[in-house]
Chain A
């Protein structure tokens, strides 16, 4: 069994309003940052999973996202196993 570092990035699903991202994007020109677009806000969750393989760690992270870390009605997750 090995320890796998797992990064879960939680983002709002396409089409779901992202008021935080929109507010940040609107604030940028006033701070002197021109030409920055497509700002979205999500969450990064880091975990260490003890598993027999990277695939097994990923499968467990998938299940964790589905049942707990994301709300599938509004959120998606991207899982990176390090």
Chain B
């Protein structure tokens, strides 16, 4: 669990990973050694205050070189919300997240449909499965060129779609993955949907998939 100054969802991730039988530690953004870990989560929040653009400064944090190397080695890397923004800025995922079409900060629960199971985040889910997940963002409007979109669709790299597009995202995209499927970014927060008491436990299937991928031997991406 990578922690930048301004990240604020790290405890939610640690709690949900523990709940599902995993163990999560915090790695400070100035550290460069991820060798002790089987998966990396880049959590939500406002890394480096979101100055300039969300993720624009975080991508230069020392830990990001280690995250890129971890991803290249086939390790599971998941960016949630601000973490998704960081991974696009770092070039580990395609596209960009711009301001919501309605110019409102959105804090609500939405329905997302699993579109592809060829990512470490969705491998344990089923195509067509609908998940109720919280969103909490101002810059969640996924944008990419038509050629990138065509490539993502053709390679089944759109992993989650909003059923009722809340933010203007291209093709209602809520989450995408890398060509190898081991790097995934999504705007919804599965870690906040791991307990029915909190309104939904639908995020469990996603985090379980990541934990399962973490236990599987890696294939370099």
Which residues in chain A, 31-68, are within 8 Å of chain B measured between CB atoms? 68
Interface of A is mostly: mixed
Q: Tell me whether A73 and B144 are in contact (CB under 8 A).
A: yes
Pairwise interchain contact B103-A73, C-beta atoms closer than 8 A: no
Tell yes or no: B56 within 8 A of A by CB.
yes
Expressed in whole angstroms, the minimum distance between the Cβ of A76 and any Cβ of chain B is 13
Indicate whether A69 reaches chain B with its CB closer than 8 angstroms: yes
Q: How far is the CA of A23 from the CA of B103 in the complex (A)?
A: 8
Closest to A16 in B: B143
B100 contacts across to A, CB distance below 8 A: 19
Question: Are A71 and B56 in touch, CB under 8 angstroms?
Answer: yes
Q: How many residues of A contact B (CB 8 A)?
A: 11
| Bound-state Cα–Cα, A17 to B99, Å | 9
Q: Name the one of B52, B60, B89, B141 contacting A17, with C-beta atoms under 8 angstroms.
A: B141
Which residues of the partner chain A approach B60 to less than 8 Å between Cβ atoms? 68
Distance of A47 from chain B, by nearest CB (Å): 13
- Check if B53 is an interface residue, CB within 8 A of chain A: yes
Contact A19-B143, Cβ < 8 Å, known A69-B52, A71-B53, A71-B56: no
Query: Using a CB–CB distance below 8 Å, which chain A residues touch chain B?
Result: 12, 16-17, 19-20, 23, 68-69, 71, 73-74
Known: A73-B143, A73-B144, A74-B96. 14 other contacts (CB 8 A): A12-B98, A16-B143, A17-B98, A17-B141, A17-B168, A23-B103, A68-B56, A68-B60, A71-B89, A71-B96, A73-B88, A73-B96, A74-B98, A74-B143
